[in-house]
Each structure stands twice: as C-alpha cells, then as structure tokens.
Amino acid sequence: MSGARERILASVRHSLQRDEPLAESIAAGLEARLTEPRPNALPALAEEGLAACFTTKLTAAGGRVSRAADVVQLAILISAHLSEFQCGRQLLVAPDPWLNSVPWSNELSVERRAATGDDRVSVAMAFAGIAETGTAVLLSSPDNPTTLNFLPEDHIVVLPETRLVRYLEDAWARLRAEFDEMPRTVNLISGPSKTADVEQTLQVGAHGPRRLHVVLVRDA
Amino acid sequence: MKSTAHDFKARARRALGDAALRRAMAKAEGGFVAKRQAAVAALPEWKELCAAAREIKEHTLQNLDFYLERFERQCEARGGHVHWAETPAEARAIVVEICRAAGARRITKGKSMVGEEIAINGALEEAGFEVLETDLGEYIIQLAKEPPSHIIAPAVHKTKDQITELFHAHHAKLGLTERVTEVPAIVNEARTVLRKGFLAADVGITGANFVIAETGSTVIVTNEGNGDLTNTLPRVHIVTTGIDKVVPTLEDANSLLRVLARSATGQEMSCYTTFSTGPRRAADRDGPEEFHVVLIDNGRSRMLGNEFRPMLRCIRCGACMNHCPVYQAVGGHAYGWVYVGPMGSVLTPLMVGLDEARDLPNACTLNGRCQEMCPMGIPLPELLRDLRTRVFEEGLDPPRARLALRLWAYLARRPNLYRWATELGVATLGWLGRRRGRFASLPLAGGWTRARDLPAPAGETFQSAWMRSRGDAR
C-alpha cells in the first residue's frame, strides 16, 4: 500500500502547511537532535548512593535485592533462593560469558540456553541498573535470550555494581558507546509480573515471573 | 469495533441503574485517583517533567513527516517491515495478509487500543484465525464478548463475582471445574489457561506506546508480562500503532515514560517497558523471525491541521477518565466506542463522525479536572466546546435543542429582556416550590426530573443578588 504512505505523508504536510521539503537549516537541526541525543529535564534522585537508591526503589515495587561480594557469594545466594522457594535443582543460566566463572553448587544441574515453558528458574545478566527507578536493563543477544526474562516463575538477575547508573539516559549513553545498533529487544524490568485487572486489587505473578530477585555483585 | 456512540443517552441511563457497575466503578475511582496523587506528590519536579514531555510531543508533531520517514528508514534498516494504512479497513487488510502469508493459525494479542480502533479481532476471526487476548482485563472482556470500558483497565466495570462466573462458564470445558472466587486464584487460573496460548501462537500482535525515529524501535509498557510473551514467542510480531506515537530519540521516550506510568497507575515505572527493534538477529536463540509495524492514520493527519492538534499529544494514560465525574457515573460502555471519558469524547466524534457521536461532547460538566490532571496539558474542555460548536453549526442536534438555544441566544443578546424574563421565571418557580423546596416534575424539564428533583430557586436571580450585594458594599 505505497499509495497510502504517500497519501498520509501528503496529508501530514498539508496540515503542517508545508508543501515544500523541509528547509535545509531546519532539517539540519532535526538531524542534530537525532544524532546527538541529549537528556531532557531530569528529576533529582531520592537518596545518596546508586546501590541504596536502586534497592529502595525495586524493593518498593515488589522486587528483592541482595548483595554479593563476588561470584562465590553470588552462587551461594542463588542456591539459597532455590531452597527458599522450593525451585528444585534445575537451573537455567544465560549463556553470557560473564557467568562462566560462577562456581555453581554441584547439586544443581545447570543449563545454558533459551527458556521453554517448563523452566522454573532463570539467571540472566543485566546490562545496567537504573538507580532512579530500581530498573534492570537487559539486552537480547545469543548470550542473553529474552525468554529467560518472562517464562520462568523465578527470575534472578545478576547486576555487577559497576553497571549501576543514575538515570535511564545514562544507560542509553553506555549502550550507544558499546553497540553499533539497538539489540532486537531491550527489556526494562522494574518488578515482578503483576496485574490489578480484577477489582483494582494488586496481584503479583500474572503471566511472567512471580519473583524478581536482583543480585548486585561488588567485585566484577 | 463498531460504534454505538449514537445511543449514548440510553446507555448512560441504563448504566446509572446498574448496581454491579456502581460497585465496580466505586472501587476503581478511589484507587486510580489516590495512586496518581501519591506518585505526583512524591516528585517535586512533576510540573517541569510534564512541560518537557509536552514540548517533545509538540516538536515531534510540528515535524511529523520527518520523524515518520526516519522511523521507517531505521526500522527497515534493522530488518523490519513498515506498512501504512489510511483507514481501519486498510489496516485490517494488511494485518490479515501478513498472518496469511505466515501460514498462521493462532494469534495472541497484547492490549492495544489501536487494535480495538481498527477492530482487528473481528477481521482476523472472520479470516479463520484463532485470536486470544492475553492482557488479563482484555481476556476477561473477550470471554464476555464486550468492548473495553477503560483504556488502561479494560475490565474495570466487572466485579470479582462476575469474573468468577465468566471463568467458570468458559474454563470448565478445559477441566478447570472448580469456581475460583478469590483474586489470587482467578489470576492463577488465567495464567494457566493463557500460558498454553502463548506457547502455541504463530503470530503476536501488540500496540505501541511510542515508536522511536532514532532507532526504528517500538515500545510497549505493561505490568503483566503478557506483551513480552506476545512479542517474543511467536514467529511473527506485528505492531499496530497510530502515526501520532512517534518520538525522536530514546531520551525523548524516557521523558514521556516518566509521566505516563505515574498518571496511569501511580507507578514510577511499569514493571515491563520493552523496546523492540526488527526481527531476531542472526545468532539469536529466540525472538520473532518477522517484525512488522503498521502505521495508522485514521483521521490523525487531519487533526494535525485543525484546532484538535493538541489531542495528538495524548499518551493514553487514562487520567482524564479517572478524574471525570461523568465517566465515573456512567462507566466506559456508555460512550459506545473504544476511547472513553473526556479523551474519548474528543476522539470518537473525530474518528467515527460527529453525527454518530454528537452527544459525547455534551457529556461534560466543564469542571476542568481532566485538563488539570492531563500530563500533556490537553485543553479537553475547550476541545469539547469546539465540538459542541461544530454540532450546532452543522445542524446535527435535535430541533428542540436548537430551538431552546436560539431562544436563549435571543434573550442573552437583550440584557433588559433577559433580566426581566429570568426574574419572572425565578419568582414564579420560587413561589410554586415554596412549600417543598423542590420539584419532582416540571413541564419541559423531564430530562432533569426523571432521575432527580429540581431544587426550587430561592426567589431571586443571581444578577439581582449581585446588584444588591454591590449596593450594600458601597
């Protein structure tokens, strides 16, 4: 329907009273706005310290935040999570190389792949954590399949503290610096799955994970 | 969805007598209003952030063609397909054709008001596809075969007991024979039933809260996670969205996100905000193989050029309806189409026709709360007044109303006559109602007295009371 495209754009231009293409000076301004994106107005952060701010916000939204000194403690914390919520011994871990060095307990059977409907727990790797809102930023890639973030009942996210930033705007700046293009999927995750569609009563565990557990790792 | 907006008055009357609706609406109103208020109170920069958000939208609208073309170019550079549809019929044809070409049978859907606007479900079902709504609220109303009654909470008009019975009627055949009566059990049962649907789907259709020119991405904002299972698991992901949803950059989307969730549900961020850019990449282990975006006009490009342009700033947060006394009294179904409350009373006449929806602009007390609550500062009462003017100018209102307006206009232009006539009227009514202080019925005032008494005037007009008090003051 290329005809529709032309007609819609013509109608837009007619409404803007612009029958000529954009003047060069205006087009250059718009171009600059796109190629050198700048943050707009930002709110002040609620408290000092990125980790503290992140923890307060995510906890308020129903997520859990733990802190591990290193990958050894990370493995222990994850084992404890599995026991606490009776998750069994199957653990689905993102193929991300950062997680290669985690010394998983021998009692666990660890698989590294995309998720299926049968996986109970997943461990995924965050690209960034946003202090402003307690949000984990996860990028899709062969190393970090998106299904890990939504199919399992328990979603454990590993977030090295060096990846904490103040605002989402800071995460975009890092993303542009590290990648040539947007990943297929960018997930901003700010709590466990929830719904209020029945009489406005908040209920956790709608279609996605019932629990979101972010582990901040200090030495990374 | 087919409009029944012409039937507004009768529907509103029925809604006012619906006890279950009264209960459901009473619960919802307090929740939405209090949550928004708390979220806004916790953010000292609220006004500044709203102003920034508004400025972004205005800038984008002023250069809409540029940003739409850039979005198209960037989306296609990442392997996506961009389709353009002038009308709902064109959009339906495009979506049905994509599903056919993909050899699809089962389709899952994330909540999309543009999907409702173009009535996509009916077209897909007619073409032989199985369509499953996956947002819990949308699923509930799909089972009930009803349209949404709120843009954020589509099943807000349903009570828990009604949902219990609805699930029992539809899920018993799936082996779930026990009645689920509490909220956790209701949500769990929906999770169980819909999970199978997610895993079996060939095509997933979502809307978009924003589309981003810089990156060619589409953005959805959800809490349940259903939108993500819809856009990740099936082979094909289709996004249906309006041309008004484009914003320049990721940073601009951030600024809009900061005001969206707070206005809608009182959250700082919804649980899941997801940016989708093209189909799965070469080595990816999951994600759709095809990514389509259908950009729909349906009257938007025309609004850009007239007094209704501010309406294109709307980010569909629902704050206007949550704070509207008319919406709270009659509920969303009375409005007769997809968009409800104040924003719906502006959009519906512009999208389905002023003649069809001529009563909606009058379903407003002009109290101004909607404009006050709107994060994008849309002058909704003003736009509704403009529509009232159009209705009168086009001669669409009933002869009796026109006659009354003409009579009033005649009087209003003759101050002495006006004063004399109102003094006479008020004195007469005051004398007639001197005993009971109100009227249970009155000639020509049936529209008022059918539902409530008319208070008798105190015997003096405002103008004469005003003159007297000014005289006293001197």
pLDDT digits (tens, 9 = 90+) for A1-59: 469 999 999 999 999 998 787 888 899 999 999 999 999 999 999 777 999 999 999 99
Residue A83 CB neighbours (<10 A): 8
A17 contact residues in B (CB cutoff 8 A)? 305
Q: Is the dihedral of CA B347, B348, B354, B360 positive or negative?
A: negative
- Same domain? A25 vs A114: no
Residue B25 confidence (pLDDT): 87
Using the structure block, give the residue that is written with the tokens 């953005």: B219
> Is residue A172 domain-shared with residue A64, that is, in the same domain?
yes
Domain that includes residue A12, residue range? 2-35
Look at residue B136 and tell me whether its pLDDT is greater than 80. Answer: yes
Beta bridge partners of B131: B107
| Residue A22: exposure state from Cβ atoms within 10 A (0-12, 13-18, ≥19) | middle
B158 neighbourhood in chain A, CB within 8 Å = 198
Closest to B151 in 3D by CA, of B263, B267, B41:
B263
Question: A184, A188, A194: which to substitute to probe chain B, counting the most B Cβ within 10 Å?
Answer: A184
- Are A29 and A133 members of one domain? no
What is the fold, at CATH topology level, of the domain defined by B43-301? Answer: Rossmann fold (3.40.50)
Q: Which residues of B touch A7 (CB under 8 A)?
A: 86
CB within 8 Å: B286 and A14: no
Say if residue A210 is in the same domain as residue A111: yes
Same domain, A103 and A206: yes
pLDDT tens sequence across B112-134: 999 999 999 999 999 999 999 99
A22 with A130, same domain? no
Any chain B CB within 8 A of the CB of A191? Answer: yes
Chain B closest-CA separation from residue A155 CA (Å) = 12
pLDDT at B473 over 70: no
> Which ipTM score applies to this complex?
0.97
Q: Which amino acid is located at A71 in the chain? A: V
Q: Please provide residue A139's backbone torsions phi and psi, each rounded to the nearest 5 degrees.
A: -110, 135
pTM for the model stands at 0.94
In a domain, A41, yes or no: no
- Mean predicted lDDT score pLDDT of chain B: 94
State residue A220's pLDDT score: 65
Looking at residue B30, what is its pLDDT? 75
- Strands B272-276 and B217-222, by their bridges, are antiparallel
Total length of chain A: 220
Alpha-carbon distance of A193 to B198, in angstroms, equals 16
What band does B415 get if pLDDT is binned at 50, 70 and 90?
very high
Over range A139-143, report the average pLDDT. 97
Q: Which of residues 67-86 of A touch B (CB under 8 A)?
A: none
Q: Specify if A43 maps to a domain.
A: no
Average pLDDT over residues B316-323: 97
Whether A25 and A117 share a structural domain: no
Domain ranges of chain B: 1-22+318-397, 43-301, 410-473
Round to the nearest angstrom and report the end-to-end CA distance of chain A.
Answer: 52
Within a domain: A193: yes
Of the candidates B201, B199, B179, the one whose C-alpha atom is nearest the C-alpha of residue B189 is B179
- Nearest-Cα distance to chain B for A72, in Å, is 28
pLDDT digits (tens, 9 = 90+) for B3-20: 999 999 999 999 998 999
Q: A117 and A73, same structural domain?
A: yes
Chain A / chain B CB contacts < 8 angstroms: 274
Average pLDDT over residues B198-206: 98
Q: How sure is the predictor about A211, in pLDDT bands with cuts at 50, 70 and 90?
A: very high
Q: Which among A45, A207, A210, A212 is the top mutation candidate for probing chain B, defined by the most B β-carbons within 10 Å of its own β-carbon?
A: A207
- Of the CA atoms within 13 Å of residue A70, those in its CB half-sphere come to 3
Over residues B386-401, the mean pLDDT reads: 92
Say yes or no: A82 and A151 in one domain.
Answer: yes
A16 touches chain B (CB under 8 A): yes
User: Which A residues, 138 through 177, put their C-beta within 8 Å of a C-beta on chain B?
Assistant: 140-142, 145-147, 149-151, 167-169, 172
- A40: in domain: no
By C-alpha distance, the chain A residue nearest B302 is A15
Does residue A99 sit in the same domain as residue A206? yes
Q: Are both A122 and A71 inside the same structural domain?
A: yes
B27-52 tens-digit pLDDT: 777 789 999 999 999 999 999 999 99
pLDDT (0 to 100) of residue B449 = 84
Question: Is the predicted pLDDT of residue B109 greater than 90, yes or no?
Answer: yes
Q: Is the pLDDT of residue A137 over 70?
A: yes
* Cα first-last separation, chain B: 62
Whether residue A55 is found in the same domain as residue A23: no
Euclidean distance between CA atoms B274 and B264, whole angstroms: 17
Residue scoring higher pLDDT (A61 or B442):
A61
Residue A155, in any domain of the structure: yes
Domain count, chain A: 2
State the average pLDDT for chain A: 95
A188 close contact with B: CB closer than 8 A: yes
Strand, coil or helix: B340: coil
Phi/psi at B409 (5° precision): -60, -40
